[in-house]
Structure 1
């Protein structure tokens, strides 16, 4: 294997005294020093030409080997990326299953408008909304709103009762906010008419309680899908 480029080599001066020992074996009655030097030069040129061919073949082999190594490296890198992508997908799927609530997409639609008429909702229901707790739709049906209006400012409304806050601390709220209404109808037993009348009032209450707009829209779309479902 050549270690130097023969294209960079210069033909030596074979007439110089340094090459006298090389010329001497070639001298005879038909060849003088100049002719011997020319013969040595011809030999050198032929050898250099062969070395140039060998050098070029060596360069071509190096280029091919480098290309093959790069190809192997690219394949290994691509395989690593595919493996990493598959691993990330598995982790993402596991995270999605563990935190499915956090990853629910929220449609970016226009915010629903409040109900046209302002209504009086039971303090108990509004307190539940403030705490983001479950509360029946009954409180926003015509009957639930009528009950809230009828029981508004009863003798117990000014009294206070202790209750546990979100952080576990004790807070005081009005008795009406701590007392559920009598005869509450579960959501799954509401008629379609009561359900459709309650939803707009509930959406209005959510807005009034300061719920994030994205959550209000999400619930509005959810209830809309229920009301429009063919079943």
Structure 2
């Protein structure tokens, strides 16, 4: 149906009886149809046609109104979508900026500088950066010794400047201290049970503060809990205790490597007694070898003195 360009209801029916329309109704005049009847027939045709056009015009107006409403809704929805996209981009940019410049956005605790680090105010920059990146980091940094070292470092170091580092595909600047491990770091396997017990709740809290997935935090907490409740933990056999600490370090390091390589990690909290038994045998052999070497060295020294 062709589109109308004007409202037919505004038109006025022509006077078909007038002289100018005589030629129009002449073909309809016959012996039985007068000129007036022919003019009336033309009028009726015009009125009927005009009514149809008026109906079409109203339908056209209704359809135009519907289409405009749809277009407005579509435009409004698109504007809302673009606004949300813009807000998301801004929020993402702010989040990225906060990650890259975390120290600039750290809340300031309104209290004097602490004299000790008992409340874990200071933790090694290096350790925190490892936590941020989801990498393996030694428990030493959360022992009393590690925290005291961090406090001393914060209190005495000069401004070492910044160094470039790649993070999430972008180049960021970090403090030089954050790029270097402690010179006094103690591997997990050599930590005493007391140091280990001190560090575990502190590193769990650090993982939570640095937005580690809750599943991983719970798994590691259960893992360390399983270590401290294992029968080897309170054993009088130093070989058993050492095997347990080596197991903790090696398993956690391997787990982090598996996560980084995308090979699929495992539930650390499930202690493998088979692997632990193998470690026990390994530590026992190494201990016997050291004892043998010590005995040989002592014997040779004694023999040398006799001569």
Higher relative contact order at CA 8 Å, sep ≥6: structure 1 or structure 2? Answer: 1
* TM-score, structure 2 as length reference: 0.35
Structure with larger Rg: 1
* TM-score, structure 1 as length reference: 0.47
